[in-house]
Amino acid sequence: MNWVALGAGLVSFGTVALVLLGYGVSLAVESTFAIPHAAVFESTFELMDLASIAMLEMIPALTQALADGSLILRVYRSFAPLLGVIVGLLVLLGGIGWFCEPPRKPDPQATPARSTKPASRLHWGLTARHYLMRYALLGLWVLLSPLLSLLGILATVLLAAVLAIVPVIGMSAGKAHIEKWVLGPAQCRPVQTLDALRRSTRLAADSSASAPRYADCVALTKDAARIAAGRVIFYTSKAVVLVDDTGRAKRVPTGDVVVEVIDAL
C-alpha cells in the first residue's frame, strides 16, 4: 500500500470537506441576514476559516449527545425493525445450512477406526461449532451496525458518500452559532480593565453557574475615521462580517484597518 498517496488523498478529501462545511456557514449568513453568500468570502481559505465555526458548534453537541446515551438509544430504536429482519434471516440461513450440510465422502484409505460412529459425531460436532461461530459473528456485527452508522456520522468529513450533506451540516451549525452568539445576547461584551478581567476569570473558574453570554462588538477605523461597527458574525483571515442594530450585515476587509473592541454600538 502506498501510504504517501493514501495520506495525500485523505488530506485532499478533508480539505474539500472543510471547504463545503464553510460554504454551508456562508449559506446560514445569507438565510439569516439576506446578504449573498458569495459576498462573505473571496477564497477557499476563507471558507476553511468558516469551517472552524461549524466544528466548534458540532463537537460540543455531539459530545453531549454521546455522553447521555440518548443518541445511541435513538439509533437502536430506529434500527430495531431492520435488526429483527436481519436476525430472523440469519437464524433461517443457519438452520438451512445446518440441515443441508452435504455428507462427507468416505475416505478409501480410512481405517475402520476412522469411519466409526464416534468419528461421525465428531464431524457433525465440528460442523455445528463452525455454523454457530459463523452466525454468532454475523449476529455480533448486526448488533454493532447501529454504532458503526453513528461513527459514520461523527466521521462525515472522511466519507465521500456523504459529501453532499456537508454544506447542510455547516448551514445548521452556522445558524446555531448566529443564534447563540449574535442574535441571542442582549448586549455587547463589556470592555474591562486587565485587573477586572483577571477577577472575573477567577470567579468564573470557581463558580458553577453559567456565565452570561455577550455578543462580540467591534468598530473598524481607517485613517482615524470609523468605517463600520457592529456585532461580529464571524472573522476570516481577510475580513470581518458584521451586523448593526438595524439588521444590516456587511463584509469589511481588514487590510490596513484598525479593529477595536467596543461595548456599545
- Per-residue cell: 117: 460412529
Record: fold of 186-202+210-265: SH3 type barrels. (2.30.30)
pLDDT digits (tens, 9 = 90+) for 1-43: 578 888 888 888 889 889 999 999 999 999 999 999 999 999 9
Mean pLDDT (whole number) for 51-73: 79
Query: Is the Cβ–Cβ distance between 24 and 171 less than 8 Å?
Result: yes
Contacts of residues 197-206 at CB distance under 8 Å and 24 or more positions apart, as own/partner, are none
Beta carbons within 8 Å of 234's beta carbon, 6+ residues apart? 25, 29, 49, 50, 53, 177, 240, 241
Helix (H, G, I), strand (E, B) or coil at 262: coil
For residue 10, the model assigns a pLDDT of 85
Strands 225-235 and 239-243: antiparallel
One-letter amino acid of 134: R
For residue 184, the model assigns a pLDDT of 92
Query: Is the Cβ–Cβ distance between 221 and 227 less than 8 Å?
Result: yes
CA atoms within 13 A on the CB side of 244: 11
For residue 116, the model assigns a pLDDT of 46
Helix (H) or strand (E) holding 260: strand 258-261
Residues in the chain: 265
Q: Please state, in angstroms and rounded to a whole number, the distance separating the CA atoms of residues 140 and 37.
A: 47
pLDDT digits (tens, 9 = 90+) for 229-253: 999 999 998 999 999 999 999 999 9
Q: Please state, in angstroms and rounded to a whole number, the distance separating the CA atoms of residues 229 and 252.
A: 10
User: Residue 122: phi, psi to the nearest 5?
Assistant: -65, -40
Mean pLDDT (whole number) for 124-129: 55
**Would you list the domain boundaries of the chain?**
1-184, 186-202+210-265
